[in-house]
Amino acid sequence: DAKTTQPPSMDCAEGRAANLPCNHSTISGNEYVYWYRQIHSQGPQYIIHGLKNNETNEMASLIITEDRKSSTLILPHATLRDTAVYYCIVRGQGGSEKLVFGKGMKLTVNP
Amino acid sequence: GAVVSQHPSRVICKSGTSVKIECRSLDFQATTMFWYRQFPKKSLMLMATSNEGSKATYEQGVEKDKFLINHASLTLSTLTVTSAHPEDSSFYICSARGGFGRNTEAFFGQGTRLTVV
């Protein structure tokens, strides 16, 4: 079972920052937060992951609350190509640990 | 990110035949590979996990004799749907993870659309 909850959908204006929330109140100390996205009829694309510190890469920023019970994925300047289903996933350590997908959140970037 | 290639991207087969889907990690050694299926407007459902050289571990409710998984090398895993039926029509996606690091990310193939007629 997925250990995260996300709103089912969100709209964002092109060029604005998109802030995608995720709750993971039952996360344990050695579990990471991963974000993936899936554009229609394609395989999921890795975005970012983190443990407790905030993380940033060329795609996005990940802000994790101090108690680690929630996080926010930030797309700083959303484009139309960012329209996708975004999945927030909690995963344990170890190479064989599974990525279990929940329902995700559909982000629609509007012109 | 690392590249994972799936082949074919789309296949149509007759009911009762078997179909093999290949998943290759092109620029890294995949110690663990995962197979998912996805129905329209639904999320990805994990079918099985395979480690190179070992038997796959199947999720509850997934028939191991119907969905044969082979992970014979560090760059190739195959999923064979045996005696396919129309209800097996779905989008199949593989994922590969390399290394033994505690937080290595998994990369996904582009998926295979299987239609059984």
pLDDT, mean of residues B57-86 = 94
Give the pLDDT score at B102. Answer: 44
Give yes or no for a contact between B49 and B31, defined as CB atoms under 8 angstroms apart: no
Q: Is pLDDT at B67 greater than 90 in this prediction? A: yes
Express as a percent the part of chain B with pLDDT over 70. Answer: 95
- Alpha carbon separation from B13 to A40, B46, B85 (Å, rounded): 23, 23, 9
Q: Is B87 helix (H, G, I), strand (E, B) or coil?
A: helix
As a whole number of angstroms, the distance between CA A23 and CA A7 comes to 9
d(CA B59, CA B105): 21
Chain A residues with beta carbon closer than 8 angstroms to that of B1: 45-46
Q: Which residues of chain B have a CB within 8 Å of the CB of A38?
A: 44
Would you place residue A108 in the very low, low, confident or very high pLDDT band (cuts 50, 70, 90)?
very high
Q: pLDDT tens digit string along A28-47?
A: 888 899 999 999 889 999 99
Strands A105-110 and A45-50: unpaired
- Please state, in angstroms and rounded to a whole number, the distance separating the CA atoms of residues B113 and A87: 21
Q: Is B7 on the interface with A (CB under 8 A)?
A: no
Q: CA-nearest residue of chain B to A37?
A: B108
For the stretch A46-78, pLDDT in tens is 999 999 989 999 999 999 999 999 999 999 999
